[in-house]
Amino acid sequence: MLHQKKIVVVMPAYNASKTLEITYNEIPKDIVDEVILVDDASRDDTAVKARELGIHTIIHPQNRGYGGNQKTCYREALSKGADVVVMLHPDYQYSPRLITAMASMVVSGHYDVVLGSRILGGEALKGGMPLYKYIANRFLTLVENLMLGAKLSEYHTGFRAFSRAVLETLPLEKNSEDFVFDNEMLAQAVYFGFRIGEISCPTKYFDDASSINFTRSVKYGFGVIATSLQFLLQKLNITQSPLFRKTDRNSAG
């Protein structure tokens, strides 16, 4: 608990056996009430390792993709009564020790979404981020800030904290099952007027850290631009996208 709010950490996992334990051990158990791992049909023993560590583990019988994995993560966290949900990759690329700070920013009531930014501290390249990914990150972030009317340092981090209200409001089931899910989620948060904060987060790139290849990165980049365009057209009342339409359940709530 943190100020009487239940904190749940969710970890979307795929072939994360080698880094899971070190990541889990740095999660601040003094404020985190529960950790949930969703294994997306890994080819290694991620699920076995997770259960050995005492983590509540859900296994997808077939690979659903990064976005599909997160959908399961958030549904399960909400069903467990989470007030704040922190999404942390189990590959040890981001520092779990920052969970307390990120959750506190949400619990304070100042922010609805908090992002662990690899860019704010200016250490992304020193942490091993490939140069082409850094350049693409900066370019796509510039485009998104212009099209969404926001001022974020990056939209592409995999370290995020959300209030329960955010997860209950965003039409996440309409989102992609692939990597662009992350970007669609932030565009939705901006569209629905949620307050987004950022915190500087060091990053580590190494052999066992998950990373999409160049081809998938290009596909993701086009998906990001497409999402931003949908947002802009929606704002201008030119088109209506399912991404920015609340479900009946959410509308009733």
Tell me what the pLDDT averaged over the chain comes to. Answer: 93
Q: Where are the domains of the chain?
A: 7-252
Share above pLDDT 90 across residues of the chain, in percent, rounded to a whole number: 84
Q: What is the DSSP letter of 5?
A: B
**pLDDT surpasses 60 at 249:** no
Q: Is 131 exposed, middle or buried (0-12, 13-18, 19+ CB in 10 A)?
A: exposed
229 C-beta neighbours (distance < 10 Å), count: 14
Cα–Cα distance measured from residue 115 to residue 86, given in angstroms and rounded to the nearest whole number: 10
Cα–Cα distance measured from residue 187 to residue 37, given in angstroms and rounded to the nearest whole number: 25
What's the average model confidence in pLDDT over 71-85? Answer: 98
What's the average model confidence in pLDDT over 60-88? Answer: 98
3 state DSSP class of 100: helix
Tens digits of residue pLDDT in 167-183: 999 999 999 999 999 99
72-110 CB burial, b ≥16 within 10 A, e <16: bbbbbbeeeebbbbbbbbbbbbbbbebbbbbbbbbbeee
Q: Is 145 exposed, middle or buried (0-12, 13-18, 19+ CB in 10 A)?
A: middle
What's the average model confidence in pLDDT over 86-109? Answer: 97
Amino acid residing at 49: K
Exposure of 141 in the CB half-sphere (CA atoms within 13 A): 17
3 state DSSP class of 92: coil
59 C-beta neighbours (distance < 10 Å), count: 16
CATH assignment of 7-252?
Answer: 3.90.550.10
3 state DSSP class of 53: coil
**pLDDT surpasses 60 at 154:** yes
pTM of the predicted protein model: 0.93
Residues 6+ apart with CB under 8 A from 8: 32, 33, 34, 35, 36, 77, 80, 82, 84, 85, 86
Q: Is 6 exposed, middle or buried (0-12, 13-18, 19+ CB in 10 A)?
A: middle
pLDDT, position 250: 43
pLDDT, position 4: 95
Contact between residue 136 and residue 156 where contact means Cβ atoms under 8 Å apart: no
pLDDT band at 228 (very low <50, low <70, confident <90, very high): very high
**pLDDT surpasses 60 at 80:** yes
pLDDT, position 251: 39
Report the DSSP beta bridge partners of residue 38.
Answer: 12, 58
Q: What is the DSSP letter of 188?
A: H
